[in-house]
A and B are shown apart, each in its own frame.
Chain A
Amino acid sequence: MAGIVAVAPAEGQLTVRPAAAWRQLLRNPRGAVGLAGLVWFVGLAIVGAILYKNPLPTGTTSNSVFLPPSGTYWLGTDQLGRNVFDEILLGAQVSVIVGFSATALATTLGAAIGVISGYFSGPVDSVLMRGTDVALALPALPLMVVLAAILPRGLLTVIGVIAVTSWPGPARIIRAGVLSERERTYILRERAVGCGEWRIVWRYILPAVMPLILANAALLTAVAVLNQAVLAFLGLGDPTHASWGNLLQGAFDGGAMLQGAWWVIVPPGLCIVALVLSFTLLSNALSDVLNPRLKAS
């Protein structure tokens, strides 16, 4: 089989060489900004994990509550007298961890269902896709709220409920990609020379739909970071670990709004926006760079 592939280069198979893709991604303004933001926040999360121990010390006197930014407290203090700057650094890891883990879970599940459904078609496909339709129709945030309210509080629950509500998107996208890939000449030829079905999926179909998977995963990570913040704000996150959402929830419940304590409200929100935007831009650039067929059209 290998010999046949060697004499006839797989026409119709559009692959992207990794090195070229990297160069294009860095040259794409949205890609470069997104990647820079991603690296910055992962760095921030690592620095926060090294420098601080959870939980942070609270203020010693009642005078240290909601202090405005100053030389000592660069971003002021919160309702418990904690240093907001420290909290933001310490909280970065939760966003990054939840974003990546929930996406990894959802993408693996979605990709598995999408590939199986698209490649094996027939009754398997109908059952899986009807299931996906139903899951897609469920209201995501209310479902997350209900699940997180019933399950034990913690980071694992947060990751789980975000993943449970975000796999149908990738499943649909990947199935569509597989369907269009399956009928291409080079796949038919592989099958004709006796290549096994699973090998075709693993060796040809999966690499071909990888651009779709990656671009979608970047978008899912953005959504996961948002959802983690929302769950934390609604009091359904991990209450024991500092995160940007917890910071906002504590400040809101602690009366930061009425006090006009903008320094507890604005910076953590900006961090969430910047991280989410990084992933959104990255996804946008990835689909441009990794999808030569899209570009051609």
Chain B
Amino acid sequence: MRTGSLKSIVAKRLLQLAITLVVVATINFWLFRVLPGSPLLEITREGRLSPAAVRELSKSFGLNRSVGYQYFDYLTHIFAFNTGLSYSSQEPVTSLLFPALVHTLILVAAAEFLIAVFGIWFGVRAGAKPGSFLDNTIVTSALGLWSLPTFWAAMLLQLLFAVLLPIFPIFGMQSTSSQGSSAGHIADIFMHLVLPAVSLAIVSYGQVVLILRNSMTEIVGEGFVLGVRAKGVRERKVLWGHVVPNAFLPTLTVLVLSAQFLLAGTIQVEVVFSWPGLGLLMVQAVNTRDLPVLEAAFFLIAVVVVALNLVADLLYAWIDPRIRFR
């Protein structure tokens, strides 16, 4: 980033965001509209239609227009997440999409909280004494956790804590018996949330802890830390009073960025636990060939991920003047 002011960084990032979203929309357009057969194939596969009926259908989809016209028409619809009616439920796609997004965000927020608490704690411990036994243990276990397929970690937790030891519910977001907004209902959702959130957190925790540990190690090696130590400040105070505040920025960025890994992992966790979020919606749409839902869900996930990227970048530039004036 060579540009000086925060404003120009924001402008640049916003432009980049817009370009990325147009690229995603274009990928969508080619995959779902231009590839041979779609979307007419999906409708006509049930039975043979007369050529006149096919022509009529093409017209109603705008398929008789030029590709350029269709493309711009598509862009205006996808940016409103309006890709029509779901093939399987005949509801507008948007009415399925937004409740699912809320459920996914609940899950991601819970996992993010767990990662922040455990990632910072262990990352700081490991980074404070690079090469120590504790550091090696934490790094090795982080690599191990990173190597877990998220869906498998979810299956193991489900098997252990919902089937063999029936502490938590096996799947879903709430029991059918508890409804309304009472405290009991919230407790019910919480019980359903524990296992999905933990399985989602476990895998990304490995990633976060490694990055935190590395930035901690770098800061521990800097001159000012030696200076503080030389003044006779106690080791505990050096760590939490001087090193950690300086590691705050990379930490924050990593946490915001980790929400992306979480959004990817959430597809797998939602399938295992039948958590009614965007990921489950997407996979169900794949299985039922419900293309309007699939393309809109993909686009919505892309919007959330790209927006998170933007937030991370701006936080970084806003908090740390060195980024702006370098």
Contacts and interface: CB of A to CB of B under 8 A. Distances in A.
**B is a partner of A:** yes
Interface of A: 130, 133-134, 137-143, 145-147, 149-150, 222, 226, 229-230, 233-236, 248, 252, 257-258, 260, 262, 265-266, 269, 272-273, 276-277, 280-281, 284
Given A141-B264, A142-B264, A145-B267, A134 B20 contact: yes
A139 B260 contact: yes
B286 A235 contact: yes
B315 interface: no
- The A interface is mostly helix, strand or loop, or mixed, namely helix
A154 B260 CA distance: 28
B149 A258 contact: no
A265 B267 CA distance: 19
B295 to A, nearest CB: 7
B53 interface: no
Contact of B152 (A150, A248, A260, A262): A248
Contacts of B301: 139, 142
Interface in B252-311: 260, 263-265, 267-268, 271-272, 282-283, 286-287, 294-295, 297-298, 301-302, 305-306, 309
Contacts of B306: 137
A31 to B, nearest CB: 13
A265 B156 CA distance: 8
B275 to A, nearest CB: 15
A94 to B, nearest CB: 14
Contacts of B272: 252
Interface of B: 16, 19-20, 23-24, 27-28, 31-32, 35, 38, 143-144, 146-152, 155-156, 158-159, 163-164, 170, 260, 263-265, 267-268, 271-272, 282-283, 286-287, 294-295, 297-298, 301-302, 305-306, 309
A284 B147 CA distance: 13
B286 A236 contact: yes
Contact of A252 (B155, B264, B282, B294): B155
A230 B155 CA distance: 13
Given A258-B163, A266-B156, A142 B144 contact: no
Contact of B147 (A149, A236, A252, A276): A276
Given A142-B301, A234-B271, A257-B163, A147 B31 contact: yes
24 contacts: A133-B16, A134-B23, A137-B16, A137-B306, A140-B264, A141-B267, A142-B263, A142-B267, A142-B298, A143-B298, A145-B267, A145-B282, A145-B298, A149-B294, A234-B268, A248-B151, A248-B155, A252-B155, A260-B163, A265-B152, A265-B159, A269-B155, A276-B147, A277-B147
A265 B155 contact: yes
Contacts of A281: 143
Contacts of A146: 28, 31, 294-295, 298
Contacts of B159: 257, 260, 262, 265
A65 B286 CA distance: 29
B152 A234 contact: no
